[in-house]
Chain A
Amino acid sequence: MRRSRRISAAVLFAAVALATVATTAKALTGAYWGYNNLSATNPPNATCSYNGRVWPAGFACSGWGNWDISWVDWTSGSGKFIFGFICQSDDSLHGPILNGAGGDVPAFYSTVYYADCPGHYNHAAVGHVGGTYNYLQAGKN
């Protein structure tokens, strides 16, 4: 009788601990690139391409969708990068610019689709725009 009570207590503790871990984790779903070094040469040219249009090396994107959220999980690096949304209307990538070496803190960033990108049909995207590299993962929701 005593033995089964100790086993039951151990199982309960594990279940509680697991639940605690689950509730503190952010919802990092929808990754489309990384973790990898985002640089002037990675990913290769045409990794982000659609409708016959090609982005140069250093840019990655998701498929078309009505994405609300574009996010990056930055780990290390000292380059400059942009992430956000490629708007169908202007074939351009809009979003925050982050500089791994310039004082931007280590962080998980997300940006939300809004009216400045007309038409909700978009690509979530990330691109290297200067410096060396940044080791990160990019995704959308």
Chain B
Amino acid sequence: MTSRLPRKRVTIIVGTLALAAIGSAVAVASSRTHASGASSPEFTVGRGTLVSPQLISSRAQSALSASGATGQLYLLGKQGDHAYYRDAQSDGNACYAVGSGTDITSVACLYSDQEMPAALIDMSTVVVRRSDAPNLHLESVEGIAADQVSAVGVERADGSIVTTPVSGNAYRFEPGAIPSDAVAIVALDETGKVLQTKEVG
């Protein structure tokens, strides 16, 4: 028997952005974005560079539209052949997205009115095999990191952490570098302090 619990209402939806890979180097002219309100936000994120929506496939455009994003795309950074974007929904809230070539692979549109309400907008993926569900296996580690995050790590079962640096508000582990005994993804500042922990094991 299930019961319907009160829904936590969060006021604003934010949109982000995804875009196809661009061959030439793109200089990211960032201006830091801030949440509205009297106090400074704990986490901020770069504005990124406006890119043409014509660089993404029609399927990608459909994914952005279905998620509530406007398709006005800002490239935050690149990691290998993946690109990381933000967009603005029509009501001003942010979405973040991961792109591969001309496709978008994941979109997250925020209900928060803050541009970056957490240290990470994590887009990591796992696989659950029907034969041993609900056990999961980490397949990719990537996403958007706030300006305050210096590195993202994967914590292993023994407590050790394998890290990768953040570049242009983006992080990504090479597939072969993801530990098989991962239990958490952590965001670290420049002193090594853990800003956020996400259990994945």
Contact = CB atoms under 8 A, between A and B. Distances in A.
Q: Chain B's interface: helix, strand, loop or mixed, by majority?
A: mixed
Contacts of A69: 62-63, 66
Interface stretch (B33-41, B123-131, B157-165): B123-131
A93 B66 contact: no
Contacts, number: 167
B100 interface: yes
B42 to A, nearest CB: 12
Contacts of A76: 5-8
A60 to B, nearest CB: 12
B177 to A, nearest CB: 17
B188 interface: no
Contacts of B197: 102-103
A110 interface: yes
A25 B5 contact: no
Interface string A45-64: 00000000101101100000
Contacts of A71: 66-67
Q: Chain A's interface: helix, strand, loop or mixed, by majority?
A: strand
Interface string B102-135: 0111111111100001111111111111110110
B100 A110 contact: no
Contacts of A92: 127-130
A114 B105 contact: yes
Given A105-B118, A111-B107, A26 B133 contact: no
B25 interface: no
A135 interface: yes
A106 interface: yes
Contacts of A102: 196-199
B65 interface: yes
A97 B129 contact: no
B181 to A, nearest CB: 16
B78 to A, nearest CB: 17
A37 B2 contact: yes
B103 A112 contact: yes
A109 B200 contact: no
Interface in A85-135: 86, 90-97, 99, 102-112, 114, 116, 127-130, 133, 135
A27 interface: yes
A97 B5 contact: no
Contacts of A96: 106, 122-126
Contacts of B196: 102-103
Interface of A: 23-29, 35-37, 39-40, 42, 53, 55-56, 58-59, 68-69, 71, 75-76, 80, 82, 84, 86, 90-97, 99, 102-112, 114, 116, 127-130, 133, 135, 141
Given A25-B68, A99-B200, 10 more contacts: A24-B90, A27-B66, A59-B133, A71-B66, A76-B8, A96-B123, A96-B126, A107-B111, A108-B68, A111-B105
3 nearest A-B residue pairs (beta carbon): A26-B68, A76-B8, A102-B198
14 contacts: A26-B13, A26-B68, A36-B4, A40-B134, A42-B2, A59-B134, A69-B62, A95-B126, A96-B122, A99-B198, A104-B118, A104-B122, A107-B111, A110-B66
